Amino acid sequence: MKKLVWLLLAVLILGALDLLPFESREVSALLPVKTILVMRSGEEYTVDVGAGVRAVGQSLKEALRRLCEESPGEVFLPTAEQVVLTEPDDEAIEAVAEETAFRPAAGICVTPDADPDVEALGRYLEAHPLDYTVLDLRAALLEGRKPELPVVRAVDGGWRVEK
């Protein structure tokens, strides 16, 4: 019992000094992300998470940093369930694979649509989970294999996943 009292006392003291290893967040300011759309045009990356929240940068890291800085709330990327790339080249695929802000378990796919509706696409992918993940992409690149990303196409007002 004495150990528990000392532990609680230590937690209270560390909390009062703001030295706890936990990060607190204002929950009402969080913008949880379901789908991340990554577009590359020339030397610029655009990241769109829906609800009109998007940012542009010279690299994927810069675009994500700007997204977090310029959004009306705190963008919370760990909730993202899927990452969608529009017509990616090898550099964009490698940038996504190297990005640590993306969950390894998040599904990943490609769409030939230049600027899809992120929210509609996210709802479709939520109902039809992707088999290929960011972790699978990283493994393929590490092993020197060409990643076989599923393709999501707009069809008759909806979407279809092609493998």
Is residue 8 pLDDT above 80, yes or no? no
More confident residue, 47 or 16: 47
Is residue 87 pLDDT above 70, yes or no? yes
If one counts every other C-beta atom within 10 angstroms of the C-beta of residue 142, the result is: 9
Domain boundaries, the chain: 26-162
> Would you call 62 exposed, middle or buried from its count of C-beta atoms within 10 A (0-12, 13-18, 19+)?
middle
- Average pLDDT for 123-135: 94
Q: Which of 12-21, 47-56, 118-127 has the lowest mean pLDDT?
A: 12-21
pLDDT on residue 75: 84
Rounded Cα–Cα distance for residues 116 and 104 (Å): 23
More confident residue, 52 or 84: 84
pLDDT on residue 1: 73
- Confidence band for 43, pLDDT divided at 50, 70 and 90: confident
